[in-house]
Structure 1
Amino acid sequence: MVLTMLATTGVLAVAPPPVPPQSAPPAAREISVLTYNVRGLPWPVAHGRARALRAIGAELAALRREGRQPDVVLLQEGFRGEVADLVHASGYRYWAQGPRREGFRKLTSGGLHVLSDLPIRSTVSAPYTACAGFDCLAAKGVMLVRLELDGGLVDVVNTHMNSRRASRAGPAQARAAHNRQTEELQAFLARHAVPGRPILIGGDFNVKNAPERYDHRVEARPYVVVSEFCRRGPGGPCLDGPAAEAQPWLMSQDLQAFVSPAPGAVRPLRIQAAFDGVAGARLSDHDGYMVRYAVSPAGDPTLAHARRPGGPPGPVAWRAADGR
C-alpha cells in the first residue's frame, strides 16, 4: 500500500493497491465433438465386436492422418477390453473412463469413455441409481471431463441412458427409469457446473421416436439440444442431411447439447454424420454424430501453474492414452 498526503486537507490517505492488468478473455475457438455408441458388447451378447472396435480405431487414425479427426470423442457401450486397442490406434493422447463396476449387482462398467486431443484437467463420474431390465447389469451413468482449451476451460459430458426394448423391461418400467435418469442427469449438471464455464454434452439418450422421454422435465433442462437449436433458432445453417427433418431430435438415440454461460459463448456451427456406412463398412448399430462448435472457453489463471514439466496437466483422476 502507498501513503499519499492530500494537499488540500493534510489528511493521510491509503491508496488502493495497484490493480494487475486483466488478461483478455479467450477468443472463440472451433472444436468438434463426436458421440458414438460403438456397441462394444461382450460375447455372447454380440459377435465380432473386437474386430469392429479395432476398425473404429483405425478409421479414427485415418481421419487423423487427413487432419479431419474430431477434437473430442465420446464413446458409449465400450464394455470390452478391445476399447484400449481402439484408443491406442486412434492417436488420442488423453483418455478418461466413466463409472466403474462396483459391488456384485453390476456385471460391467458404465461403458463410457472420452478421448481427447485437448488436455484433460480432471474428471468426475456417477452411475445412475435408477435402471430397468437388463440395463441394470451395467453401471450406466454420466461422466464429466474438464478440458483445457486455449488458456481456458470447457466441460464435456458423456452419458448413456436406459434403453427401451433392448432392456427387456416393461414399457412403463423402462420409461420410469429413464425419467429418473433424466432427473439425475440434471442434478449432476447442477452439482458440477461452474458459473461462466461452457458445457458440451453428448451421448446415447435413447429417445428415438419417444417424445414422452425427450420431453420429461424439459422445463428444468439446463442445456439446449443442438438439433433443436439448429432447427428452431438462428442456427439453421448448421443442419445437415437427416438433421434437417421436422423433429431431428427424435430421429436418433444420440444427441448433443450445450450450456452457454453467455449469449454466443457456445454456438453450434455444423452437424455431421460419421461412421454411417456411406464411405465404408458400418461398424456399429449406431451412426456417429458429430457437431462442430465455436466455443469461448472460461479463463482460468491457475492453468499456468497446473502443468507438470513434460506431461499433461496436474494430478487428476484420468490417464493419458499412452499410460502416463
Structure 2
Amino acid sequence: MTYNVEGLPSLVRKGRGAALKRIGYELAAMRAKGKEPDVVLIQEGFRDEIWDLIDESGYPYVARGPRKGQRDENYLKSEKPDFRRVKYRRQGEGWGKWGSSGLWVLSNHPIDWVKSHAYRYCAGLDCLANKGVMLVSIQVAGLPTSVEIADTHMNSHGASKVPRKRYNEAHALQTQELGRFLQASRTPGAPLIVGGDFNVRRSPDRFDKMMSDYPFVVVSRWCHERPGACDTQISYTGEAPWLNTQDLIGFLNGDAVEVTPKAVEATFDGADEPVLSDHNGYKVTFSLTPKG
C-alpha cells in the first residue's frame, strides 16, 4: 500500500499529529483481522508523530528515506540542465531544507538494506522538503531472491506556488533522477515494485515522460488493458484511469520471480477505514511466483 499521510508541520497543517496516530491504530485493526498490507509506503511523514503511527501499527521492520541534511550525487551533472536552482525565493527556493523527505517503508518482512537519493532539483515550496526516493530490499519467505521496493514523492503542481513551466521542468528533472537512481541502485534481475506520490494526476505529459524513463509497468494501466485480470475495487473511469490520481504503484518481473497484480483497492477512503488524509491509501495485492 502507498499512502500520503499528510503529516505536514503544524505551521502548515493543524491537528495532523492525532490523525497520524489514528492511522497507526487503523493499521493495527487491519492487522488484528489479518488484512494489513505486507508493506506500506508512506509519503509526507514529516512530523515527529509519525513515530506514533509506526508504534501503533505494529510493523516489525521500518526504513526511513532521505533526512533533512542528506545531499547526494547529481546524476544529471554531465548533462548540465538549463535550470536555475534558485529562482523564486518568495516561494521557498533557496531557503534550505526545513524537513526530511517524509518517506518511510513499513514491512512485515525483514529488510536487508536501504538505499536513498535526495532530489537535487525542485520548484517552489516543495524545495523546503528534502524530497527524494528510497529503495529497500526485503526477504519474502519462499522466494529464491529478495524483492526490491522503491518509495518516492515528486514535485507538486500548483501547490508549489510557482509558474507551470517551472514546476513542470522540476518534475521532469526529478523523473530523470529517479530513473538514474533505480538504474544505479537496484540489483540487476531482482523483482521490483515502485510506489508513491508521483504528482501526475491529469498530467498526461508528465506521465508519458515518466514512463519513457522508467523500467516498470503501472498497475492501473496493466489492469485496465486486461479486463478481468485484476479484482478491481476502485473507480477506473475514462480511457486513462492512471491519470485520475497522484498515487501510483508499478512493478517489474525479476529473472527468478514473476510479479503479477491480482487485486486493487482504496483504503482510508471512508469505507472500511476513516478518511485521515487528503489522499486515500492505494493498495495492490501481487502474486510473487518463482520461475522455473
TM-score by length of 1: 0.78
- Deviations 1:231-276 (CA, angstroms, capped at 9, x unpaired): 1147643433313643111000000001113597110101110001
Are the equivalent residues in 2 in contact too, given 1:153–1:297 (CA < 8 A)? Answer: no
The 2-side partners of 1:244 and 1:195 are apart by: 36
Aligned residue runs from structure 1 range 30-179, under 5 A: 34-102=1-69, 105-150=96-141, 152-179=145-172
- Deviations 1:75-109 (CA, angstroms, capped at 9, x unpaired): 00000000001001000000100001117711100
Are the equivalent residues in 2 in contact too, given 1:198–1:297 (CA < 8 A)? Answer: no
The 1-side partners of 2:228 and 2:180 are apart by: 28
The aligned residue for residue 270 of structure 1 is: 263
Are the equivalent residues in 2 in contact too, given 1:227–1:239 (CA < 8 A)? Answer: no
- Deviations 1:180-208 (CA, angstroms, capped at 9, x unpaired): 11111111110122222101010000011
Q: Tell me which amino acid in the other structure corresponds to 1:141.
A: G
The 1-side partners of 2:231 and 2:41 are apart by: 20
Structure 1 gap segments, 5+ residues each: 1-33, 299-324
The 1-side partners of 2:238 and 2:256 are apart by: 26
Q: CA deviation at 1:295?
A: 1.4
Structure 2 gap segments, 5+ residues each: 71-94
Are the equivalent residues in 2 in contact too, given 1:231–1:244 (CA < 8 A)? Answer: no
Would the alpha carbon gap of residues 50 and 217 (structure 1) be closer, same or farther in structure 2, given more than 3 Å must change? closer
The 2-side partners of 1:63 and 1:208 are apart by: 28
Picking from 138, 162, 175, the partner of 1:182 is: 175
1:207 and 2:200 aligned? yes
The 1-side partners of 2:208 and 2:239 are apart by: 16
Higher mean Cα deviation, 100-109 or 267-276?
100-109
Would the alpha carbon gap of residues 297 and 130 (structure 1) be closer, same or farther in structure 2, given more than 3 Å must change? farther
Q: CA deviation at 1:217?
A: 5.0
The 2-side partners of 1:129 and 1:99 are apart by: 12
SS in 1 for 2:224: helix
SS in 2 for 1:249: helix
The 1-side partners of 2:256 and 2:229 are apart by: 17
Are the equivalent residues in 2 in contact too, given 1:110–1:127 (CA < 8 A)? Answer: yes
Q: Tell me which amino acid in the other structure corresponds to 1:268.
A: P
The 2-side partners of 1:53 and 1:38 are apart by: 7
The 2-side partners of 1:172 and 1:109 are apart by: 25
The 1-side partners of 2:229 and 2:257 are apart by: 15
Are the equivalent residues in 2 in contact too, given 1:235–1:269 (CA < 8 A)? Answer: no
TM-score by length of 2: 0.86
Q: Tell me which amino acid in the other structure corresponds to 1:144.
A: L
The aligned residue for residue 222 of structure 2 is: 229
The 2-side partners of 1:220 and 1:260 are apart by: 17
- Deviations 1:281-302 (CA, angstroms, capped at 9, x unpaired): 310000000000011369xxxx
Q: Tell me which amino acid in the other structure corresponds to 1:42.
A: P
Picking from 262, 280, 283, the partner of 1:287 is: 280
Are the equivalent residues in 2 in contact too, given 1:235–1:268 (CA < 8 A)? Answer: no
Q: Matched residue pairs, number?
A: 266
Are the equivalent residues in 1 in contact too, given 2:257–2:290 (CA < 8 A)? Answer: no
1:219 and 2:218 aligned? no
Would the alpha carbon gap of residues 279 and 261 (structure 1) be closer, same or farther in structure 2, given more than 3 Å must change? closer
| Identity over aligned pairs, percent | 46
Are the equivalent residues in 2 in contact too, given 1:131–1:177 (CA < 8 A)? Answer: yes
